[in-house]
């Protein structure tokens, strides 16, 4: 079995964490390989970013795809309205549906969008409200799809300890929670096979 984890810079941070911690195998058996590929600043609206992510799928030929993208799109401007939010959600779902069919993926897992305490182009409160709405809608819409599912990272929203290093990316505490959630997504697929 092969799992490919792709998306924005969160994936690069997770990759560095698992390499430093000696967790590359995700504590899975030798028959399961896991690869990671992230694009810093990754956005659905950037065709170059999406092409690079798709190339990673072609090069790795996974059975399972885990996708983390959309947060940078939410922070791309102050004029994010309900239509733009729907466009981002539809974009994520369309991409997953297309890739699942095109590359014969057995499982596609969309990881929740993450709250931030620092933003670039919108206020933190507006961004976080959009994340809340996007996650709620993604979860609801993905429940209608076979073999495409929503995955929540537990313990980051109301953590007793800080989970962000820079207001956007996870610190050590957050990376542990993120790693465990991703491992849970992998093992739940592995058990179903």
Question: Is the Cβ–Cβ distance between 73 and 41 less than 8 Å?
Answer: no
Per residue of the chain (193 residues), give pLDDT as tens: 999 999 999 999 999 999 998 887 787 877 889 999 999 999 999 999 999 999 999 999 999 999 999 999 999 875 677 888 999 999 999 999 999 999 999 999 999 999 999 998 888 998 999 999 999 999 999 999 999 999 999 988 876 678 999 999 999 999 999 999 999 999 999 777 6
Phi and psi, residue 75, nearest 5°: -100, 25
List, in sequence order, the alpha helices (H) in 22-159. Answer: 47-60, 71-74, 82-102, 124-142
The pTM for the full model equals 0.94
- Out of 3.40.190.10, 3.10.129.10, 3.40.50.1110, 3.10.310.30, the CATH code matching 2-192 is 3.40.50.1110
* Residue 109, strand partner residues: 66, 149
Residue 119: both structure tokens together:
């933003």
Structure confidence at residue 83 (pLDDT): 86
Task: State the first-to-last Cα distance of the chain, in angstroms, to the nearest integer.
Answer: 9
Structure confidence at residue 160 (pLDDT): 66
Residue 93: both structure tokens together:
């779902």
Domain residue extents for the chain: 2-192
How many residues in total does the chain contain?
193
């Amino acid at each position: 079995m092969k799992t490919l984890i792709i998306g924005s810079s969160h994936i690069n941070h997770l990759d560095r964490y698992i390499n430093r911690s000696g967790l590359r195998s995700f504590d899975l058996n030798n028959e399961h390989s896991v690869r990671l590929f992230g694009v810093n600043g990754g956005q659905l609206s950037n065709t170059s970013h999406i092409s690079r992510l798709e190339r990673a799928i072609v090069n790795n030929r996974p059975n399972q795809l885990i996708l983390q993208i959309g947060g940078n799109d939410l922070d791309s401007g102050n004029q994010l309205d309900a239509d733009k939010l729907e466009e981002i959600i539809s974009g994520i779902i369309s991409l997953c549906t297309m890739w699942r069919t095109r590359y014969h993926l057995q499982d596609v897992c969309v990881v929740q969008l993450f709250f931030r305490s620092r933003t670039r182009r919108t206020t933190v409160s507006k961004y976080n409200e959009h994340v809340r709405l996007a996650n709620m809608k993604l979860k609801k819409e993905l429940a209608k799809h076979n073999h495409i599912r929503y995955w929540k990272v537990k313990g980051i929203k109301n953590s007793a300890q800080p989970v962000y290093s820079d207001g956007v990316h996870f610190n050590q505490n957050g990376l542990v929670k993120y790693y465990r959630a991703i491992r849970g997504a992998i093992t739940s697929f592995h058990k179903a096979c």
